[in-house]
Amino acid sequence: MKVFTALYGLNDAAERARELRDAGASGVATFEGPHDVFAPLTLAATVPDLNLMTNVAIAFPRNPIHLAHQANDHQLLSSGRFILGLGTQIRTQIEKRFGAQFDKPVARMTELIAALRAIFAAWNTGDRLDFRGDYYRHTLMTPTFNPGPNPYGPPPIYVGALGPRLTRAVAEHADGLLVMPFGSKRFLHEHTMPMVRLGAAGRDGFTVLPEIIVSAGETDAEREQADARTRALLAFYGSTPAYRPVLAAHGWQDLQPELNALSKQGRWDDMGGLITDEILHTIAACGTPADVARHIRDRVDGIADTVCLYQAAPLSLETLAAIVDELR
């Protein structure tokens, strides 16, 4: 089994990426946080034998041309080892933080994928760019702005999804699905995969890449500290209405409004206390590296041969290496 892990930081991104590769990671992924999601991967592209992925670039505030140029450049810099991971985020973040539009996110994301494919095709084939949709319109590509054919081909497009409509649309139109980290074995097998099978019916080469929250340590003290951080992370996710279906799949749907109310009161320290051991161990892979690997294999068996480890805080290189060894 191959493993993606999180790449944090900026100035030391290349050095850290090399350390993660040497610890056994097959790829590194960045998230849209305090730094630009592409910048660390620009530095990490100098590290050979390591795949790169944005996890995720928030799509709607970006224009398809911007995304296409960034993705194409990283595909070139990495010699074909780049995956463009996209996500919708939630309405509040898109409208209030980015100042962008969020209406009809499934239709908008589907069209954005089509626009990207049209741009990549124009660059690689020389055909005239003529994309006209409801949300995006691209009808001009003069030689000055055309990078020309990419020797490694267009980068694959993966999209993060949770809800059934977007999951099915991603399976129908994208190259891969990024399974959201706030999830469980039951939700993956009973809710996500049926939509994937419907959307990807008749298609070859579609990839399902599960993201799994990991809470691990080599000692009791390390595991206790990791569990405390992970409970806080699960409480943060669980407070969001978008993730209520995951809780509802286990009969925990009433927890979401309770966590949401605490978040609105600013009682962040109290929220983690509502995450029981059962919830913790159902959603996150917890314990020793062997325990974590066992949880991951059980969850993704028959679905994926690559996973992305999602962490409340960076794993030590020793713990990462042990998890990778156990998975292999």
Per residue in 46-102, pLDDT (tens digit) is 999 999 999 999 999 999 999 999 999 999 999 999 999 999 998 889 999 999 999
- In the numeric block, the tokens 């660390």 are attached to 40
- In the numeric block, the tokens 């003069």 are attached to 142
| Residue 328 CB-density burial (10 A; 0-12 exposed, 13-18 middle, 19+ buried) | exposed
**Taking a C-beta distance cutoff of 8 angstroms, is the pair 50, 21 a contact?**
yes
> What percent of the chain is predicted at pLDDT more than 70?
100
Q: How high is the pLDDT of residue 276?
A: 97
Q: How high is the pLDDT of residue 56?
A: 95
pLDDT at 284 over 90: yes
Q: Give the span between the Cα atoms of 75 and 83, in whole angstroms.
A: 8
Question: What crossing angle do the helices spanning 164-173 and 105-125 adopt, rounded to 10°?
Answer: 10
Nearest to 5 by CA among 276, 303, 285, 272: 285
pLDDT in tens, 201-252: 999 999 999 999 999 998 999 999 999 999 999 999 999 999 999 999 999 9
Q: Give the span between the Cα atoms of 51 and 47, in whole angstroms.
A: 9
**Taking a C-beta distance cutoff of 8 angstroms, is the pair 89, 62 a contact?**
no
How far is the first Cα of the chain from the last one, in angstroms, to the nearest whole number?
Answer: 6
Beta strands, E only, 68-140 = 82-87, 131-132, 137-138
* 284-287 and 137-138 beta bridge pairing: unpaired
Which residue segments constitute the domains of the chain, with CATH numbers given? 2-214+288-327 (3.20.20.30)
Q: How high is the pLDDT of residue 293?
A: 98
Q: How high is the pLDDT of residue 129?
A: 98
Q: How high is the pLDDT of residue 176?
A: 98
